Amino acid sequence: MATEWIMGLVGGVVIGIAVSLMLLWNGRVTGVSSIVYGVLVPIKGDIAWRWYFIVGLLLGGLSLQATAPELLTVELQTKAWIGSLAGILVGFGAMLGGGCTSGHGVCGVSRVSPRSIVATIVFMAAGMAAVVLLRKTGLLI
């Protein structure tokens, strides 16, 4: 249990360093939903770095898969349609709300942006409610 906390903290510090480098080097917020959206609905002249970032995420994932595949274990089992519905809500909600866990939750909260703090409280509370719903309906195995 204690190791989980320590690993959680160490991972968080690495994420903090990553988003700091994005700011120091490129002057940008690491808002992953916006980065992906900017590739889907391309903004002229503002695309290449987004692809590089996405490739970086994938390379990071592949290196984890090669060295410690247990970190990518999908133990959670719910019906496929729930995963699908979840994804649609995540994609739609992030764009309407102007950010997700990275843009609002990490970068926005770090610069004490009132919008991001509100967004983070709202999506955490909503996530907690969704998990209660999953439990109550017996959909979480």
Residue with tokens 């770090």: 110
Half-sphere exposure of 113 (CA within 13 A, CB side): 16
By CB under 8 A, tell whether 137 contacts other proteins: no
Number of residues in contact with other proteins, rule: CB under 8 A?
A: 110
Would you tell me the crossing angle of helices 80-97 and 32-40 to the nearest 10 degrees?
90
Shortest Cβ distance from residue 120 to other proteins (Å)? 8
Shortest Cβ distance from residue 132 to other proteins (Å)? 6
**Among 18, 43, 14, which residue's Cα sits nearest to residue 31?**
18
By CB under 8 A, tell whether 16 contacts other proteins: yes
Q: How far apart are CA 137 and CA 3, in angstroms?
A: 32
Would you tell me the crossing angle of helices 32-40 and 48-67 to the nearest 10 degrees?
120
Tokens of 46: 């503002």
By CB under 8 A, tell whether 75 contacts other proteins: yes
Shortest Cβ distance from residue 97 to other proteins (Å)? 2
Tokens of 132: 């209660």
Contact set for other proteins, span 18-57 (CB under 8 A): 18-30, 32-33, 36-37, 40-41, 48-50, 52-57
Applying CB under 8 A, which of residues 42, 43, 45, 61 lies at the interface with other proteins? 61
Contact set for other proteins, span 87-116 (CB under 8 A): 87-98, 100-102, 104-115
By CB under 8 A, tell whether 79 contacts other proteins: no
